[in-house]
């Protein structure tokens, strides 16, 4: 049996019985509110779980774009790695070989990083694997670039030294000898013009009229320009560095002074007949580490292969020297 319910009427200040119809109405209203609330909750739940908001869509687009950018970056790093490996290969097998430098070991070029985990702060994200892999590649590339950069700096210094060496080596004939007829006597055993004995001739004799220009055969510094050496008469010595020294003897007069810097091809003196000489000519010698060597081996600067062969024929004749 249903209970009778009352409500307080504020106008009459008395309790009145609630009629069944009114109670039913309140009941329906309560059920409607409950149903509406439940529907709203379900709608919000479904929306949040299955329907993306504009912010979420924008975030997903941004995330997808970032993933694409990482993939493109990794591809570019792979290409950069291939280029760097090619440069390293050229460095070891061409440049360093040419300049007689030791190659850089692969373990030095590819050395990793020791110590603590450098990528710990990048762990725990949805794309941690991709991000960490990209950072590892970047770090490795940076290290390899540093190693290669230092190597190229060394190669540049070696190239500069090589350039200085090539400029310093006495590589041309000291007098104009285009027709190759001025070679009077070469390096080796020759007949002494004064004693007629067989004697070793340590230089090359070029016949030329007195006053014929004499040229520096390589870059260097004049260390002597005097006649204070027995037999040579007026003579010049040029220190080319790297252990090379050239000597020009029996000169008529000088065009340079002691301690003066000269370049290959500079006019330094004139042919004469001073000292122990039998006629106007230039006696020319080359020293390497204080040892006399055959000047003929250095005339590659202004002779073709055919001209060198022709000069070699004249230089190897065992004839009489002029000093």
In tens, the pLDDT along 108-120 reads 777 655 555 666 6
pLDDT given for residue 103 in this prediction:
86
- Per the document, the length of the chain is 323
The SS3 of residue 7 is: strand
CA angle 278, 284, 289 (to 5 degrees): 135
In this structure, which long-range contacts are made by residues 184-189, counting pairs with CB atoms below 8 Å and at least 24 apart in sequence?
A: 184/281, 184/319, 184/321, 184/322, 185/319, 185/320, 185/321, 185/322, 186/294, 186/296, 186/314, 186/315, 186/316, 186/317, 187/294, 187/295, 187/296, 187/315, 188/294, 188/316, 188/318, 189/318
> CB neighbours (10 Å) of residue 256?
18
Q: How many CA atoms lie within 13 A of 84 on its CB side?
A: 22
How far is residue 151's CA from residue 158's CA, in Å, rounded to a whole number? 11
How far is residue 239's CA from residue 23's CA, in Å, rounded to a whole number? 125
Task: Give the model confidence (pLDDT) of 210-253 as tens digits.
Answer: 999 999 999 999 999 999 877 999 999 999 999 999 999 999 99
Q: What is each CA distance from 58 to 15, 53, 69, 92, 167, in whole angstroms?
A: 61, 9, 16, 50, 67
CA angle 122, 123, 124 (to 5 degrees): 125
pLDDT given for residue 2 in this prediction:
56
pLDDT given for residue 175 in this prediction:
95
**Sign (positive or negative) of CA dihedral 184, 190, 192, 193:** negative
Query: For tokens 């006649």, what's the residue?
Result: 227
- Sequence-distant (6+) residues with CB within 8 A of 318 are 188, 189, 190, 191
> CB neighbours (10 Å) of residue 25?
11
> CB neighbours (10 Å) of residue 238?
27
**Among 87, 97, 235, CA closest to 174:** 235
**Token pair for 43:** 């709608």
Task: Give the model confidence (pLDDT) of 135-170 as tens digits.
Answer: 777 888 888 888 888 888 888 898 888 899 989 999
Pairing outcome for strands 198-201 and 188-191: antiparallel
Pairing outcome for strands 261-262 and 244-249: unpaired
**Below-50 pLDDT ranges, the chain:** none
């Amino acid at each position: 049996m249903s209970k009778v319910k009352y409500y307080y009427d504020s106008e009459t200040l008395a309790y009145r019985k609630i009629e069944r119809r009114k109670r039913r109405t309140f009941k329906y209203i309560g059920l409607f509110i409950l149903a509406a609330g439940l529907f709203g909750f379900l709608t919000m739940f479904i929306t949040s779980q299955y329907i993306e908001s504009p912010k979420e869509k924008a975030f997903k687009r941004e995330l997808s774009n970032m993933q694409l950018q990482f993939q493109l970056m990794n591809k570019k790093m792979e290409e950069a790695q291939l280029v760097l490996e090619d440069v390293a290969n050229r460095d070891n097998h061409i440049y360093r070989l040419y300049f007689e430098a030791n190659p850089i070991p692969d373990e030095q070029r590819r050395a990793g990083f020791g110590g603590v985990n450098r990528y710990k702060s990048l762990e725990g994200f949805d794309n941690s694997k991709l991000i960490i892999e990209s950072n590892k590649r970047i770090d490795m590339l940076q290290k390899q670039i540093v190693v290669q950069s230092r190597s190229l700096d060394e190669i540049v210094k070696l190239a500069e030294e090589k350039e200085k060496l090539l400029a310093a080596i006495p590589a041309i004939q000291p007098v104009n000898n285009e027709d190759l007829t001025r070679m009077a006597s070469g390096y080796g055993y020759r007949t002494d013009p004064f004693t007629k004995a067989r004697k070793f001739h340590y230089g090359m004799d070029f016949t030329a009229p007195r006053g014929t220009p004499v040229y520096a055969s390589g870059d260097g510094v004049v260390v002597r320009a005097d006649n204070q050496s027995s037999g040579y008469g007026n003579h010049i010595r040029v220190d080319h560095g790297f252990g090379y020294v050239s000597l020009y003897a029996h000169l008529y007069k000088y065009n340079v002074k002691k301690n003066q810097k000269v370049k290959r091809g500079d006019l330094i003196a004139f042919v004469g007949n001073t000292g122990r000489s039998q006629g106007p000519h230039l006696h020319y010698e080359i020293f390497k580490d204080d040892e006399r060597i055959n000047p003929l081996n250095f005339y590659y600067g202004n002779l073709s292969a055919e001209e060198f062969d022709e000069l070699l024929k004249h230089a190897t004749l065992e004839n009489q020297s002029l000093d």
